[in-house]
Structure 1
Amino acid sequence: MTAATTKLTKTSRRQTLRGLGALLLGGSFISTPLAVLAQTGERAVRFILPVGAGSGVDTIVRAAGVALGKTLGRPVVVDNQPGAGGIVGTANLVKSAPDGMTLSVVSNNHVVYPSVYKSLPFDPIADITPICVLGSTPFVLVVNPLRLPASNVKELVALLKAKPDAYNYASSGNGTILHLAAEMFMEEAQVKAKHIPYKGVGPMIADLIGGQVDLGVLALPAVQAHLKSGALRAIGVGGSSRVAAAPDIPTIAEQGLPNYNIEGWFAVVGPAKLPAAEVKRIQAAVTAAYATPEVKEAMAKQGNTINPSSPEAAAQYFRSELAKYAKLVKKAGVELQ
């Protein structure tokens, strides 16, 4: 081997390692080893997630990555593209070819956008193809126990009322569902705290644990480990009933705020004009993946409810949720961006 060849080989190796490092740090997930993909040249199905790694939706999709690869018949790549409350990733999804090779899993935020932003780079209804509403995930109100030594709603409300200007709450971005969920709590409890928006769930959780912010609402799967370690403390879940995965956490409703009822949902979508046959095939594959024993177990541990809808029901649900959140945003007094 010549010196030039040796140098080229080392350079290529370094470039490959850098590429792999960037892939891992970027939060991508591939259900088939990279070496196999390189040898077979097999094209992967890309799931563009408009959220950061470690968020509720990200956790839900990654738990089913291997199963999705099997049922879809191709490797699956998770491509996290957070930013602007989810607009960045979705803007890229809608520009992709409607061939079934680029999909996304979106949440409540998708139908909140039109009520929060004066202009969007896409139409959240016309520019996507709903495939199925996959299920729901519980929200949990959490505090940093060192900053807010409260264990329940009554104690938290007392602390917030005693010092109305002393505390703040975090969200994953202005006008996101986590912002609305926290604002709903403030309104129901008749308390105030300063809103600190973040660019995604990851930085939000990091600063909650670090004590830069005091409280926030998050999807249960995103904070389970931090609740277990004691870094964060759960005050209550946002749904109408307790969660089997965390039965010791009472609902906020049962603690004196009966009108507080909000949870996250997640849905599989593709770009507009996805052929009906592809929609049907993908819906069946996603349903099968989330019905496998290992994925069902993972979803149960996370506290998620899986109940895949038909594409037609998903389309109708998106329209009804759009109207619902328009009212909620107006009621919460969220400023247009």
Structure 2
Amino acid sequence: MFRLATVFFVSIWVGAAFAQAPQSGSSYPSRPIRLIVHFPPGGSTDTVSRIFGPVLAERLGKPVIVDNRPGGNGVIGAEIAAKSAPDGHTLFVASASVLVLNPILRQNLPYDPLRDFVPITRLVTSPFIVAINPSLIPAASVRELIAAVKAKPGQVAFASGGNGSAMHLAGELFRLLAGLEMIHVPYKGNGPAMADLAGGQVPMAFVDLGSTSAFSKSGRVRILAIAASQRTTLAPELPTAAESGLPNWEALGWYGLVAPAGTPADIINRVNTEMIAILKLPEIRARIVATGSEPAPNTPGEFDGYIKSEIGKWTKVIKEAGIKVE
């Protein structure tokens, strides 16, 4: 009797242990997958998520449900994702702001990007650009722009999509590399910044490539260069910063896919394999390129190294530029 009771209780304990353990890749997924996006519906990040989501669902055999959790510069969505069960049924589409800039600029975050998340893959990249109003600064290259700004130290302003934003930091890196004195004018988003650039309220701006399309076609805005080491297929006619007069100015907008820390490695590798295959599909790539971004998948290890290198790079820029966010 005692032996039977012992076996009974041991069986219950072992069953409970397996029930509480993270799910292995062999039985994954067992239910719908929640894909948290820390932007509202309709933006480029949300659009890209809804492009690859149905294909991922088809390949995994379970629905992938986009869950928009905007607010707090990504903090709300990040906290929800970080505190979710590490079983692969919650994935998080996270931007550079969430994984790199927030931890550098903001105090008392409810998450730590290196401790609370495990990288799966980078999803897309989009180069930042420097644009001018040619009526205010008649420059045809970055080299000419630098000369014009140096002629008026501390008098030329540049716009960005917000204080502490990735575009702001791209502008500060430009300023530091070129040895310039400029005034930063933060806007609440790239749209208002571009509107004022086109209207002549500000002479230059650092934004993402997708925000400039309508304005550059009208001739009211001139894009001088992209902040990348190679020309982009999104606009192959645009020179790199090095070609235009400023070597080493590289600043990419990007976001990637992560999961809560503790998610089993076989699940991470499974999702990574599927996402790399999906992002290489010609029809998926074409739809993503139409949003102003380029698919740029990599391995979990490569993405982890990339995040850490970005933290090191932008920590240095923020310190040298003296950037603070209230």
Structure exhibiting the larger radius of gyration computed from Cα positions: 2
Asked if the contact 1:51–1:83 (Cα under 8 Å) also holds between the matched residues in 2, the reply is: no
Asked if the contact 2:69–2:76 (Cα under 8 Å) also holds between the matched residues in 1, the reply is: no
Asked if the contact 1:245–1:302 (Cα under 8 Å) also holds between the matched residues in 2, the reply is: no
Paired position in structure 2 for 1:90: 78
Query: Are 2:305 and 1:326 aligned?
Result: no
Query: Are 2:317 and 1:317 aligned?
Result: no
- Specify every segment of 5 or more residues in structure 1 that has no aligned partner in the other structure, as ranges: 1-41
Q: Deviations over 1:86-121 (max 9, x none)?
A: 334323332334343432222333223332223322
Per the normalisation by structure 2, the TM-score is 0.75
Q: CA deviation at 1:147?
A: 4.9
Mark the CA change 1:80 to 1:234 in structure 2 (over 3 Å): closer, same or farther: farther
Query: Are 2:184 and 1:195 aligned?
Result: yes
Structure 1 stretches of 4+ with a deviation exceeding 6 A read none
The secondary structure found in structure 2 opposite 1:139 is strand
Paired position in structure 2 for 1:74: 63
The secondary structure found in structure 2 opposite 1:126 is helix
- What is the one-letter code of the residue matched to 2:299? S
Paired position in structure 1 for 2:209: 220
Mark the CA change 1:59 to 1:220 in structure 2 (over 3 Å): closer, same or farther: farther
Matched ranges for 1:276-287 at <5 A: 276-287=265-276
Asked if the contact 2:229–2:248 (Cα under 8 Å) also holds between the matched residues in 1, the reply is: no
The secondary structure found in structure 1 opposite 2:276 is helix
The secondary structure found in structure 1 opposite 2:115 is coil
The secondary structure found in structure 2 opposite 1:138 is strand
Per the normalisation by structure 1, the TM-score is 0.73
Distance in 1 (CA, whole Å) between partners of 2:107 and 2:294 is: 33
Distance in 2 (CA, whole Å) between partners of 1:207 and 1:101 is: 43
Query: Are 2:297 and 1:308 aligned?
Result: yes
Q: CA deviation at 1:206?
A: 4.7
Asked if the contact 1:141–1:215 (Cα under 8 Å) also holds between the matched residues in 2, the reply is: yes
Mark the CA change 1:283 to 1:158 in structure 2 (over 3 Å): closer, same or farther: same
1:250 to 234, 239, 249: 239
The secondary structure found in structure 2 opposite 1:323 is helix
Matched ranges for 1:19-168 at <5 A: 45-50=34-39, 53-54=42-43, 57-58=45-46, 60-72=48-60, 73-77=62-66, 79=68, 81-84=70-73, 86-109=74-97, 110-168=99-157
The secondary structure found in structure 2 opposite 1:175 is coil
Asked if the contact 1:165–1:192 (Cα under 8 Å) also holds between the matched residues in 2, the reply is: yes
Superposition RMSD on alpha carbons, in Å? 3.2
Asked if the contact 1:52–1:201 (Cα under 8 Å) also holds between the matched residues in 2, the reply is: no
Distance in 2 (CA, whole Å) between partners of 1:64 and 1:228 is: 30
Q: Deviations over 1:174-199 (max 9, x none)?
A: 33321111111122223333212344
- What is the one-letter code of the residue matched to 2:91? L
Mark the CA change 1:132 to 1:184 in structure 2 (over 3 Å): closer, same or farther: same
Asked if the contact 1:59–1:222 (Cα under 8 Å) also holds between the matched residues in 2, the reply is: no
Mark the CA change 1:145 to 1:65 in structure 2 (over 3 Å): closer, same or farther: farther
Q: Identity across aligned pairs (percent)? A: 38
Paired position in structure 1 for 2:281: 292
Q: CA deviation at 1:126?
A: 0.7
Q: Deviations over 1:119-167 (max 9, x none)?
A: 3221111111211123432221123445544442234334433444544
- Specify every segment of 5 or more residues in structure 2 that has no aligned partner in the other structure, as ranges: 1-30
Asked if the contact 2:153–2:181 (Cα under 8 Å) also holds between the matched residues in 1, the reply is: yes
